[in-house]
Amino acid sequence: MCLTAVSLFSGCGGFDWGARLAGVDIIWANDNDAVAESAYRSLLTKTRFEPGDIRDIECFPSAEILIGCYPCTGFSLGARRRWKLRTDRNLMDIEGNFLYKEFLRVLKQNQPKYFFVENVRGMITAGDGWFFENQLQGFKGHGYTVKYALLKADDYGVAQSRQRVFIVGIRSDIAKEFEYEFLPPTHGPGRENKSLVLSDVIGDMPLWPSGEFLEKEFHGHYLTRNRKRPWNKPSYTLVANAAHVTLHPEGEPMVFVEKDKWALQGDFNRRLSWREAARIQGLPDHIAPKGNLAAKYRVVGNAVPPAFGKTLLTPIVQYEA
């Protein structure tokens, strides 16, 4: 019998798809983004998806595992630079930074055996560590032994230089017999598998997929840094903002001009398409978000690469087998 899981802040289902690949049955999911919901339903067709604001939901189904990828509105380093969020007070003013309390509410209510949380690496340092420490103390206070790690996507078979922090909780009664260990990296020099690069994952896709990539001009901020990786390298971290999506690897590389200024070369310079971005994330081709182009980029860019879900859930599945 499969382990069951409830998923909160589920997005388009990247982490949950990976959990399913590990052998976990996602029985219930929630998100308040209609485009993410449509994408999720196209992936995990048998999961009961309840749309809406989690704060309006009082009761949740029970399961052995609780998954939560709550928003990172002010935790990301990019957002903090952009909004000049330099102080604890700035971060305290962003309502989305406290949605972890909803995860704690469900954790306390249902007391699953295990939980998994994903967020941007900036969460560790946000508010001089206040937010992260409060989450850890909340988890421990509800009776869980907690471990966390900063993991790189390209270490686990994703063609992308993406780093995310993951928190794993084991209910204390189970932790007496089972000590969770993060699986070691599987891809890269000296490891079982070679690193995946752009040519491995999008090399067979059309070079000019009309209507699937943003054709907006490259503004000054876009040109403040290198946005193009070659075919034989993994992608830069994918983002949710369509205007900031990195360049397709075809054509000539960008060149450095001076501090905070790079220049385009040649005739082939376009952003990655949303479908290419989905491939780079490791999402299956049948994902089908219903929305405009910007919305498709948003839900794909916000996704957790499924490789993380599979990697993190595997030790639990093996222990419970």
| pTM as predicted | 0.92
Q: Write down the H helix ranges in 93-169.
A: 100-110, 130-141
pLDDT of residue 262: 98
Give the domain CATH number at 131.
Answer: 3.40.50.150
- Residue with tokens 């839900």, as numbered in its chain: 299
Q: How many domains is the chain built from?
A: 1
pLDDT of residue 122: 83
| Domain range enclosing 7 | 3-189+303-320
pLDDT of residue 123: 82
pLDDT of residue 203: 98
Instruction: State the 10-residue block means of pLDDT for the chain, 321 residues long.
Output: 94 98 98 98 98 96 95 56 46 62 96 96 80 92 97 98 96 97 97 97 97 96 97 97 97 97 97 98 98 98 97 98 92
Strand order from edge to edge, sheet including 3-8: 48-51, 24-31, 3-8, 65-68, 114-120, 163-171, 144-152
Residue 198 lies in a domain: no
Give the separation between CA 178 and CA 172, rounded to whole angstroms.
Answer: 10
Residue 57 lies in a domain: yes
User: Which of 2, 12, 69, 72 is an active site residue?
Assistant: 72
Give the separation between CA 12 and CA 287, rounded to whole angstroms.
Answer: 9
Give the separation between CA 141 and CA 133, rounded to whole angstroms.
Answer: 12
pLDDT of residue 1: 73
Residue 106 lies in a domain: yes
Residue 291 lies in a domain: no
Residue 98 CA, chain-centre distance (Å), reads 18
Give the separation between CA 268 and CA 240, rounded to whole angstroms.
Answer: 23
Active site residue 69: no
Residue 279 lies in a domain: no
Residue 128 lies in a domain: yes
Residue 202 lies in a domain: no
| Closest alpha carbon to 197 in 234, 165, 171, 226 | 234
Give the separation between CA 116 and CA 313, rounded to whole angstroms.
Answer: 9
Residue 100 lies in a domain: yes
Residue 48 CA, chain-centre distance (Å), reads 21
